[in-house]
Structure 1
């Protein structure tokens, strides 16, 4: 009788050990799956934040100064939304609205890259890299839409030199 009881105790002990191992394995699996889901969640949130930042900057550039506050209020109204699908839907709606109201022929910012690459080697390298002339020239061309490459370049050609309109 004692041997049977002892055998039952041993068998119960083995069952308890098996259950403990299963629980430990399940806990490890949960931790691993939660780590993966947490990583996926954080990656998706980072992508959403980047999309919102880019959208806000584009919209702010196209908005007149007096409407910048209204634009900021629209972005701030949905600042505390935490559901990922809702955020994606809001971003898609905002991008569609932005594309709908965007100017059909926006100003093109023109920056000289060729000059920088041409004069960045050889004897001119130190002059051009340290020169305020190149910086001023680049800023001038990037700020003026009627410069070559800008969206207003040759849109309204100037009249001939001998013709004067009053």
Structure 2
């Protein structure tokens, strides 16, 4: 394997990784724009068709330009207020982006009873919007 072949294979692998990351980011961002799941499925299919249309391109320079254009387009059309799933908070299903707060978890208090239950203490810190 020559040096040029090795560099070609390495560059193609890096391009494939960038395309994969771009597709996943765009697919996750599609969830922010689609209000209902059936709308998401339609948008996800359209997104997949855009990526599949250019699957057979072999020119390395053209692929780099297409990836850069796709990343720029994704940054331009990114949702201004994405939906954030809070997985560490017990009330994650009730709120989405209503308050700008975050929770500090990790302080434990053991009750004096013999049940051995651990009580989670939660501190909620509200951030000023100013």
Structure 1 counterpart of 2:20? 53
Distance across 2 between alignment mates of 1:111 and 1:50? 27
Secondary structure, in 3 states, of the residue corresponding to 1:54? helix
Distance across 1 between alignment mates of 2:14 and 2:56? 17
Structure 2 counterpart of 1:104? 80
Does 2:68 correspond to 1:92? yes
Structure 1 counterpart of 2:97? 152
Cα deviation, 1:87-128, whole Å, max 9, x if unaligned, reads: 00000001111111111122334454xxxxxxxxxxxxxxxx
Larger Rg: 1
Structure 2 counterpart of 1:13? none
Q: Measured at CA, do residues 103 and 83 of structure 1 come closer, stay the same or move farther in structure 2, by a change above 3 Å? A: same
Structure 2 counterpart of 1:134? none
Aligned CA-pair RMSD:
2.4
Cα deviation, 1:17-62, whole Å, max 9, x if unaligned, reads: xxxxxxxxxxxxxxxxx61111111111111001100111111112
TM (norm. structure 2) is: 0.60
Q: Measured at CA, do residues 52 and 144 of structure 1 come closer, stay the same or move farther in structure 2, by a change above 3 Å? A: farther
Structure with greater strand percent: 2
Distance across 2 between alignment mates of 1:38 and 1:104? 43
Cα deviation, 1:132-163, whole Å, max 9, x if unaligned, reads: xxxxx7xx77x6483xxxx61525xxxxxxxx
Distance across 2 between alignment mates of 1:144 and 1:67? 24
Identify unmatched segments of 5+ residues in structure 1: 1-33, 113-136, 156-166
Structure 2 counterpart of 1:38? 5
Distance across 2 between alignment mates of 1:103 and 1:39? 39
